[in-house]
């Protein structure tokens, strides 16, 4: 069992490297997108961030409804990866999702740093980084599992190698996704009840930075 796991992991290392690099490329692209915004768009984002910091209340999302809102958003992303992995044509979609996730994070961090410089970086480290340190690896693990399963479909069906059954690979693939879903529920709990408290510690610093920039 352990030897099989090690062999599988060794075979998947190139895929892990590939999806990780793709995600990081998305982060860089998202950060660079901030510089491509028009002046009006930058002002809109600045106004939105300023309103968020000024009116932020840490108890706003710290309830069951807030938890399920965050959890369902993350689980939908995971479920989409799982569905795309069930078909050959879904293979490019998995890679696009990994890239887009990187773009979203890179753009968010880039906006905060562009607006508040070092204070924005501190805010990003508190509000974006903690839960994503677990969420992103979970999504990348599922992406690798989805790509692997999709490639198995290509080998067993498209290339007419029909002697192997897909039942066991499908079960392994689905169990992997379910285990990552449990982890995502755990990190959603952190994001619901712990992250808002951490944000409340840093929000006054951003408010001061925002006030100083308008003077």
Q: What is the pLDDT of residues 108-154, one digit of tens each?
A: 999 999 888 888 899 999 999 999 999 999 999 999 999 999 988 88
CB 148 within 8 A of CB 90: no
Residues constituting the chain: 215
pTM given for the model: 0.88
Mean pLDDT of the residues in the chain: 86
**pLDDT for position 98:** 96
Token pair recorded at residue 15: 């895929």
CB 32 within 8 A of CB 107: no
* Residue 3: pLDDT over 60: no
CB 122 within 8 A of CB 202: yes
- The domains of the chain are located at 16-214
Please report which confidence band the pLDDT of residue 58 belongs to, taking 50, 70 and 90 as the band edges.
Answer: low
Token pair recorded at residue 118: 């070092």
**pLDDT for position 178:** 95
Half-sphere exposure of 72 (CA within 13 A, CB side): 6
**pLDDT for position 181:** 96
Q: What is the pLDDT of residues 14-28, one digit of tens each?
A: 999 999 999 999 999
**pLDDT for position 76:** 95
CB 26 within 8 A of CB 100: yes
Average pLDDT over residues 74-87: 94
Of residues 79 and 3, more confidence is placed in: 79
Please report which confidence band the pLDDT of residue 57 belongs to, taking 50, 70 and 90 as the band edges.
Answer: low
Q: What is the pLDDT of residues 158-179, one digit of tens each?
A: 655 555 677 888 998 999 999 9
CB 139 within 8 A of CB 63: no
């Amino acid at each position: 069992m352990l030897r099989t796991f090690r062999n599988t992991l060794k075979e998947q290392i190139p895929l892990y490297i590939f999806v990780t690099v793709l995600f990081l490329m998305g982060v860089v692209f998202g950060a660079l997108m901030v510089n491509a915004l028009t002046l009006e768009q930058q002002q809109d984002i600045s106004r939105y961030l300023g309103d968020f910091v000024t009116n932020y209340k840490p108890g706003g999302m710290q309830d069951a409804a807030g938890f399920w809102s965050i959890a369902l958003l993350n689980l939908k992303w995971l479920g989409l990866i799982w569905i795309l992995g069930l078909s050959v044509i879904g293979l490019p979609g998995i890679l696009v999702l990994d890239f887009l996730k990187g773009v979203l994070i890179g753009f968010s961090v880039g906006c905060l740093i562009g607006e508040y410089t070092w204070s924005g970086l501190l805010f990003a480290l508190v509000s974006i980084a903690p839960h994503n340190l677990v969420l992103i690896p979970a999504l990348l693990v599922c992406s690798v599992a989805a790509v692997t399963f999709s490639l198995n479909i290509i080998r067993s069906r498209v290339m007419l190698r029909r002697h192997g059954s897909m039942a066991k690979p499908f079960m392994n693939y689905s169990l992997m996704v379910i285990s990552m879903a449990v982890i995502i529920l755990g990190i959603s709990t952190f994001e619901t009840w712990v992250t808002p408290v951490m944000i409340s510690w840093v929000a006054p610093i951003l408010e001061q930075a925002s006030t100083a920039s308008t003077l």
